[in-house]
Amino acid sequence: MTSDYKRFALTRAGQAVVVVLLAYVLTFLVISVLPGDAITNTLRDPQHGLSEEDIQRIVAFYGLDQPVIVQLLLSLGRFLTGELGFSLQSNLPVSRIVGDALPSTLTLATSALVIAVVFAVVIAYGAQYLPGKWAAIVRSIPSFFLSVPNFVIGLVLIEFFAFRLHSFTTTDPNSPVATLFAAITLAIPVSAPLAEVLIASLDHESRQEYALVARSRGLTEATLFAKHLVKPSALPSVAMVALIVGELLGGSVITETIFGRDGIGTVVQKAVTGEDQPVLQAVVSLSAVVFVAVNLVADLASPLLDPRVKLREKVAA
Amino acid sequence: MTATLGYPQLRNVGTASKRLTAGLPPITVILSFAVVLLVILWSLVPWLFTSYSPVTGDTASKLAAPSAQHWFGTDYLGRDQFARVVYGTASSVTSALVAVLIGLVIGSLIGLASGFRGGWLDSVLGRFVDVLLAIPGFLLAVVIVSSLGFQTINAAIATGVSAVAVFARLMRAEVMRVRSATYVEASYLEGGNRLHALLGHILPNAYRSVLVLAVLQFGTSILIIASLAFLGYGDPPPASDWGLLVASGKTYVTAPWLVYAPALVIVGTVLSVNRISRWLRKAK
């Protein structure tokens, strides 16, 4: 078992590294395939006020006078040594831009994750234990959540809570209350698939014989839910963690824009409008790193959480 | 054998006959089809639904609240918001359709090749799909559209590319499932070749799950394209994609209908599409 697990872990880790590197290459190709030479266009923009020397230095740094494949290798080499290059808009190191924006997005994403889990558990509990008609309504909530665009949720929350009820102001987007509403905006689409998985899993578990035995022992439904049903239903949700992280990262672009927060999403948006390729490349490949790492942890953890998960199948899949 | 013949299959017979006697799909599904039909008509023949122009307005009646004349109110140039929504349908919905087609065709081809050929091709394509999945879908779409240029058609292409991976995964799984089925082996024994197995057995079996995913993906694509338009990555005004309408409406705090009307149209459409997808999945 242990040597099996070790081999499984090493194989998965190796695959993860390969996927990250290929994601970097894919992003690079997509960004640099663009028609026109965006980097030099931006650099030669007179508003930029760069001297000819500066331009030459930057051109040499990115290898812009050389073929795409050389640029790719240079760029990949820098990425591997942790060097992310410089922003074309502000000339600041990309690592600093990302580092400055990261805490805000982390706060937002973590709060959103917690809220999403709470929403999902409440919905799943309601779907299981509310009387017939109400349960049916609760069961349709996830598909409703999935049909509302992120930006609409955000605008509605701002309209009601900021403009009508004055719970927070959009001029101070980092206040706790504003952060809470931004997190709710981001959490709603994330909670939907989570709730669907939990509902399906709870339906399955509560029909099992052990649940029947527990009921016959006189456990109330609430105790049964808390003590017996939550844990086995949590396992399939762990498998969704990577998906959720992707949703949180993608959704932060919209949410941060609406609420005026300065985070990774705003960095992406500015990089897109300013054709700031190094920043875009860095943020996208770093999100791939996060996504792959979370996926890897979930994969490595699942055989430990549930001994029934077969290692070989996981390696093959 | 007797065990498998028992309860579950009897239950299947029960639901099948119930379905036959029930005849019509549930009322919510019929409503959903009506909504989708209306949206399709809006995109094909918008002029039948409104007499107002989507581009020129009467500035004297700007930012008017919804009324009998202007169902969704008017915007800052006095343009009828309902007309803007109706005329914006074509690009909002067509682009989602384009996105689904791209994801469906490319993804299915990858999945088919992967599952059918197996071996090294499967490994290579499998890693490619892993890589596509590793970049969060919306970010991938944003990067592609920024690389291709800010146009609605490019937003559609970007959304389609980010959907390739899910279609490839599903198609591969379907091929693997059917490929090893006894009746496919039997068709080989009878002298059928691979092409015959593909056209005669694998595709007809896979089509139902792929259809369900395609419908679901249509709803998702409407949302993604609306989000891209909202960020300003689609056609610029005076185009009136639904997401763009919400974005330009949010500047006018005193005229919330400019946001709510297109937002409700988006939600209604996607909700209907998702309901149809769920019905198709269950009816399987």
Average pLDDT over residues A124-146: 84
Q: Is B157 among the domain residues?
A: yes
Lowest average pLDDT, out of A31-45, B10-24, B177-191, goes to: B10-24
pLDDT (0 to 100) of residue A47: 61
Q: For residue B104, name the pLDDT band (cuts at 50, 70, 90).
A: very high
pLDDT (0 to 100) of residue A125: 84
CATH of span A104-273:
1.10.3720.10
pLDDT (0 to 100) of residue B107: 92
User: b/e string for A151-175 if b means 16 or more Cβ within 10 A?
Assistant: bbbbbbbbbebbeeeeebeeeebee
Residue A1 clears pLDDT 90, i.e. is over it: no
Q: For residue B63, name the pLDDT band (cuts at 50, 70, 90).
A: low
Residue in A31, A149, A280 nearest the CB of B227: A149
What does the pLDDT look like over A209-230, one tens digit per residue? Answer: 777 787 777 777 777 777 777 7
Q: Which two tokens stand for residue A6?
A: 């070790």
Choose among B81, B90, B171, B156: nearest CA to B125. Answer: B171
Partner-chain contact A26 B226, CB within 8 Å: no
What does the pLDDT look like over A179-194, one tens digit per residue? Answer: 898 999 999 988 988 8
For A25, name the nearest residue in chain B, comparing CA atoms only: B131
pLDDT (0 to 100) of residue A221: 74
Min Cα distance B190 → chain A (Å) is 32
Q: Is B170 among the domain residues?
A: yes
**CB proximity list for A195: less than 8 A, separation 6 or greater:** A119, A120, A123, A124, A127, A141, A142, A145
Q: Is B7 among the domain residues?
A: no
Q: Who wins on pLDDT, B174 or B183?
A: B174
Average pLDDT over residues B232-261: 81
**CB proximity list for A101: less than 8 A, separation 6 or greater:** A262, A263, A264, A266, A267
Most trustworthy range by pLDDT among A38-47, A58-67, B265-274? B265-274
Quote ipTM for the complex: 0.83
Range of the domain at B247: 27-283
Partner-chain contact A246 B278, CB within 8 Å: no
CATH number at residue B114: 1.10.3720.10
Q: Is B6 among the domain residues?
A: no
Average pLDDT over residues A192-212: 82
| Averaged pLDDT score across all residues of chain A | 80
A-B Cβ pairs (cutoff 8 Å, strict) = 121
Chain B residues touching A144 at Cβ < 8 A: 271
**Structural domains counted in chain B:** 1
Residue in B147, B253, B256 nearest the CB of A31: B147
Residue B184 clears pLDDT 80, i.e. is over it: no
pLDDT (0 to 100) of residue A317: 41
What does the pLDDT look like over A72-116, one tens digit per residue? Answer: 777 787 788 877 777 777 777 888 888 888 888 888 999 999 999
Residue boundaries of the structural domains of chain A:
1-89+276-317, 104-273
